[in-house]
Amino acid sequence: MLKRLSKTGFFLQFIIFLAIGTILWFPAFVQPVAPVVSDLSGPLYAALNSLMQANLFISTIIAALLVISQAFLLHVLLASHDLIPRDSFIDAIIFLILMSWQPAMLCLKPAMPAGILILLSLFTIMKMYGETDPYKHVFTASFSIGIASLFYQPAIFFMAGLWFCLLTYRITSWREWFITIIGLILPLIYLFSYYYWQGSVNHGLEMVVRAFKIQFSTNDNFSSVEWVFLVGALLMMVVTSLITLNAIQDKVISIRRKNWIILDFAFAGLLILLIAKGTLKTGLYLVMMPLAYFMTFAAISVKKSRISDLIVLLFVLMVIVLHYLL
């Protein structure tokens, strides 16, 4: 069904995208929820949240716009690198549904602005393919991750994804690896300069230590319904990524490499869920980007994909049902 829908044209799929978004997010505008705040929220998110506390309706609008922006950026990223058909908007529809799985979380979260920057980093890494001197791209990718960590501190672990990507591209020169460190610490230098002028350097040091502190995740007080989604999402990540990697064996090497790049970032996202305490509900949103891609590819781009299309469709319907059970 999803494969047939992907061939109906961009306009119809865009209308479906808007309709689903309106249905899922309308209650959030009727009864706005306060933005999510945690110990792992970065200073830039804290500043943004302080501006939004006075008006929950405006913060909900910003949250919705961030989700829509990520959906469009994800589609542009995938379509521009020939990973999905350009006239298909299924990836954005699936991403929107995944990002809206929890009604109580239809609000501003630190992972939302961080997700925009992680997508920018991923887009830059994709452009590195075939470059003989990718210094500018390496710096932009690491700098974007550094800024993302100022919104959501665990996002700094996406540096592991970037380093995996360098290995995937077989980049072994010390210059590129050193540039990743420069790009990462430059935002921190700006931040510490601000804290220095404010006389609160110790606060900045505590924040950095907290970001790197490994505390294995607990259940975050998940309900049984939330556990169903979490387990289902992880199983879907495994199943669809394996289907995708198997299906691209006959593709050109650039497509194979770029699929592995997305998988590298998926591993980094899963790493955050594992080692950063208290991130399951918030950090899970950073895993939705690769999950949406693998689900889309498995549903519409695999030859003889009736079974994989059905699996993805059933999971999407399950997410919608769980949305109204929570």
**Domains of the chain by residue range:** 2-325
pLDDT tens digits for the chain (326 residues)? 777 777 788 888 999 999 999 999 998 898 888 888 877 788 888 888 887 777 888 989 999 999 999 999 999 999 888 888 878 899 999 999 999 988 888 888 889 999 999 999 999 998 888 777 888 999 999 999 999 988 988 888 899 999 999 888 888 888 889 999 999 989 888 877 766 676 666 666 666 666 555 555 554 567 788 888 888 999 999 999 999 888 888 788 888 899 999 999 999 888 887 776 556 677 788 889 999 999 999 888 877 777 888 888 899 889 888 888 76
What pLDDT does 15 receive? 93
Considering only CA atoms, which of 140, 127, 222, 226 is closest in space to residue 187? 140
pTM: 0.89
Rounded CA-CA distance 214/45 in Å is 21
pLDDT number for residue 294:
94
Q: For residues 317, 318, 321 and 322, what is the CA-based torsion angle, rounded to 10 degrees?
A: -150
Answer for the pair 264, 164: CB distance below 8 angstroms, yes or no.
Answer: yes
**What pLDDT is stored for residue 199 in this prediction?**
64
Residue 249 is predicted with a pLDDT of 83
Residue 153 exposure: Cα atoms within 13 Å on the Cβ side: 25
Closest CA relative to residue 5, chosen from 120, 113, 100, 85: 85
d(CA 96, CA 91): 9
